[in-house]
Amino acid sequence: MDKSVPVTLPEGFVEFYEDVESWQNELFFRLKKKTDSKKVDAIPLLKREDRPLLEFLDFEVDLTDYREAFLSFAQLLKDKREKASLFVDRIMDIKDELDYGELLMRALENDKKYFSGLENETGVPASIMTMISQHAVRPFLRVFALPYEQSIREDESLGWGKGVCPVCGAMPSISRVRATDGRRFLFCEECFTEWEHRYLACVYCGNSEPSTIKYFVVDGDDANQVFVCEKCKGYLKNYDERRGKARTDLFITNIKTIYLDLLAEQRGYGRRETDFN
């Protein structure tokens, strides 16, 4: 048990991400309607290729749709985060000069060099341009993931079982332990895929020695846990549905528990960055 008091999140922080999620859901449902997503069993494909689907299947995005998503996310940022507003105005000034195909590719690759070069050219901070480009691609990734969703969620024999997202290759941002059977699922916030993982295994190094994997919680809240690995010093937050509300929104839970990330870092644990590799 930890006696530290959780840090207070900046005002409007959680609300902003709730708005982001609503924005994303709305676009996702719109894109989904336009797409024929017949169910496909992803497991044989994943076993054969041994890499995330995005690396070997076509990811087709209509660039007009992506441009629209990019600009509407930029607008949301302007409306909800005052600090970003000036930069969004700048983006709107140059919106016809931006190469949306390039932005999409670089967002997927999380190409920091590209975005810092763009910052020099445009004056828009790389963090803002990256954020918009990456959030704008998420609804498309969710549609891409759709045909495979069920087979991946029901991959009981852990045909994939790795620590990276089987669809897009990102690192999970959080996991949950299912109330009904105590099984653990990792969650990818890029494409909203959930896949099963061994309960006591590190997502970064695969270590599964019980004595070197443990979790800590903050006093009074046993549902929000931080799994840590003593071998590689990695950590991942976990929501245990057996100890809290059954079925939670993991995207928002991840945001609401930023104080656990700070605590984990203070104790010397780290997370590998999301890099789609």
Q: Among residues 78, 198, 231, 271, which is the contact residue for Zn ion, using CB under 5 A?
A: 231
Q: Which is nearer to Zn ion, 32 or 231 (CB)?
A: 231
Write the DSSP string, the chain.
-B-PPPPPPPTTHHHHHHHHHHHHHHHHHHHHHHS------HHHHHHHH-S-GGGTS-----HHHHHHHHHHHHHHHHHH-GGGHHHHHHHHHTTTT--HHHHHHHHHHT-HHHHHHHHHHH---HHHHHHHHHHHHHHHHHHHHGGGHHHHHT-TT-SS--SS-TTT-PPPSEEEE-TTT--EEEE-TTT--EEEE-TT--TTT----GGGEEEEEETTEEEEEEEEETTT-BEEEEEETTTS-SS--HHHHHHHTHHHHHHHHHTT-B-PPP---
Q: For Zn ion, what does the binding mask look like between residues 120 and 159, x meaning CB under 5 A?
A: ----------------------------------------
The residue among 42 and 167 lying less far from Zn ion, judged by its C-beta, is 167
Question: Of 149 and 190, which CB lies nearer to Zn ion in the complex structure?
Answer: 190
- Quick one: which of 151, 193, 254, 274 contacts Zn ion (CB under 5 A)? 193
Which of 105, 232, 252, 258 forms a contact with Zn ion (CB under 5 A)? 232
Q: Write each residue from 160 to 189 as x if it is in contact with Zn ion (CB under 5 A), else as -, in one continuous string.
A: -----x-xx-x-----------------x-
Contacting range for Zn ion; rule: CB under 5 A; set: 6-14, 93-101, 195-203, 252-260 = 195-203
201 makes contact with Zn ion (CB under 5 A): no
Nearer to Zn ion, 214 or 245 (CB): 214
Q: Does 205 bind Zn ion (CB under 5 A)?
A: yes
* Residues at the contact surface with Zn ion, assessed by CB under 5 A: 165, 167-168, 170, 188, 190-191, 193, 202, 204-205, 207, 229, 231-232, 234
